[in-house]
Structure 1
Amino acid sequence: MRTWSRKNSLGGVKIRSEMDAREASVLRSLVSSVLSLLQDRAASAPQDDLAELTGLRTGNSTAPTDATLARLLPDFLKPDAAGGEEATPGANVNGALRSLHEPEIIDAKLAAGSVILQTVPAEGGKVVLTPEQADAWLAGLNDVRLALGSTLQIDADTPDELDPDDPRAPHLDVYHWLTWMQDSLVQVLVP
């Protein structure tokens, strides 16, 4: 992939890059996997009679048990460090907030990932984005990085390179590529 560039044209600002077929295939596969996880989570939301009457959508009130989904859809409030969440007066606050806001959060993540799938050429080639599409790419790339980082158990102590015998080594290269792609896009979007 080439670094992103910014071009002013008669039709407005365009953000451009180019991907080869392998890069496009990897990116499309990763984005599709994240979207599938999110769609499954949305489909698992309980049906609420009040929501059906009022038209307000509600989501799951419990945090995901899957580590990748938990990273994509974290709790709104952290538990009280001294005694755990049960010790706080608003022990059910996370569940209520999650139930109210998770559908919208998932919708936004699905929309961002869909923009990537719609704008990256399936066989590789030029990628041309509007600034709004570039913003969606940033959000979608971030979600893919969070999901991959969670799967690979990347944390602050993870070295930049792993032993070649480590099964995570090739995937860490993909994680670094996504990081570079996201950083390059941020650099172009910031005037």
Structure 2
Amino acid sequence: MAYEFVRRADDMVMCRLDPQEKAIIAQVAQEVSDLIRADLGMGEEPEAVREAAGSDDPLARLEAEFAVDSPREPRDSAVRRLFPAASEEDPALAEEFRRLGQGDLASGKLSALGVVQRSIDRVGPTAAEIVLDEEAATAWLTGLNDMRLVLADRLSLREDEDLDTLRMLQQIAEDAGIDGDDLERAAGGTPEGADASGGDDGPTAAGPDLVLAVYDLLTWLQESLVRVVAR
């Protein structure tokens, strides 16, 4: 069972997680990182761009450099939550903001998720305390928030009230013996990016009940960490 974040006498921040909780959080952090990289095309360099970069034509090399630096607009609904458009009314302005800032923003998010994973990996597979300094605690806040946003998207949560509605539907489903697929459809349908047959590439592959439980765990940890850092 998880214990909330607290401030130690040496000013470090800590919480205690059991093996299953650590494994789940680390897995979600990895899947969110993979989702960001895949959807934004980070690390990809098409063959045509590589050839142009080695060209003797200065214009071709310049175009290749611009192509590599140009950010890809998010296509997955969850990634769009993490990288929203700066302006819905002005596409050109939104594109310029993406060009100037999306790469750094993505790198920061991936770095924070990496801190979450490494913090867990360092303590091994048994139940243990996760101990963070101020920099790591800030990274955990970013990582927990981004993981929650992705799970919220997969659960079709758009407003705070949607979470209460989903919990109510979950209880109704349990009382009536309704399966998880029926519950997910009642809560808002199959999320964008998910296979209607259940073959989802993201963190919802285990079903909405487990995803909701993980969402609650991440929310609880984030709230306790916010209180500790704010003090």
TM-score band w.r.t. shorter chain: 0.7 to 0.9
Distance 1:187 1:23, change over 3 A: same
Distance 1:184 1:77, change over 3 A: same
Between the aligned partners of 1:102 and 1:45, the Cα distance in structure 2 is: 17
Match of residue 66 from structure 1: 76
**Structure 1 residue runs of 4 or more that deviate by more than 6 Å after TM superposition:** 51-54
Between the aligned partners of 1:3 and 1:127, the Cα distance in structure 2 is: 11
SS of alignment partner, residue 4 of structure 2: coil
Specify every segment of 5 or more residues in structure 2 that has no aligned partner in the other structure, as ranges: 54-60, 185-207
Contact kept, 8 Å, 1:58 with 1:100, in 2: the verdict is no
SS of alignment partner, residue 172 of structure 1: helix
Match of residue 162 from structure 2: 158
SS of alignment partner, residue 63 of structure 1: coil
In the TM superposition, residue 105 of structure 1 has moved relative to its aligned partner by 0.6
Letter in 2 for 1:152: L
TM-score by length of 1: 0.82
Contact kept, 8 Å, 1:35 with 1:113, in 2: the verdict is yes
In the TM superposition, residue 187 of structure 1 has moved relative to its aligned partner by 0.7
TM-score by length of 2: 0.69
Identity of aligned residues (%): 26
Task: Please give the per-residue CA displacement for 1:122-165, whole angstroms capped at 9, x wherever unaligned.
Answer: 41411000011000000000110011111111122414313233
Task: Please give the per-residue CA displacement for 1:13-35, whole angstroms capped at 9, x wherever unaligned.
Answer: 20011100000011011000011
Match of 2:33 among 11, 32, 35: 35
Task: Please give the per-residue CA displacement for 1:92-143, whole angstroms capped at 9, x wherever unaligned.
Answer: 1111211221110110001100100110134141100001100000000011
In the TM superposition, residue 44 of structure 1 has moved relative to its aligned partner by 4.6
Distance 1:45 1:115, change over 3 A: same
Specify every segment of 5 or more residues in structure 1 that has no aligned partner in the other structure, as ranges: 80-84, 86-90
Match of residue 115 from structure 1: 115
Higher helix share: 2
Larger radius of gyration: 2
Comparing 66-75 with 26-35, greater Cα deviation is found at 66-75
Match of residue 4 from structure 1: 5
Comparing 161-170 with 135-144, greater Cα deviation is found at 161-170
Q: 1:97-112 alignment to 2 at 5 Å?
A: 97-112=97-112
SS of alignment partner, residue 9 of structure 2: strand
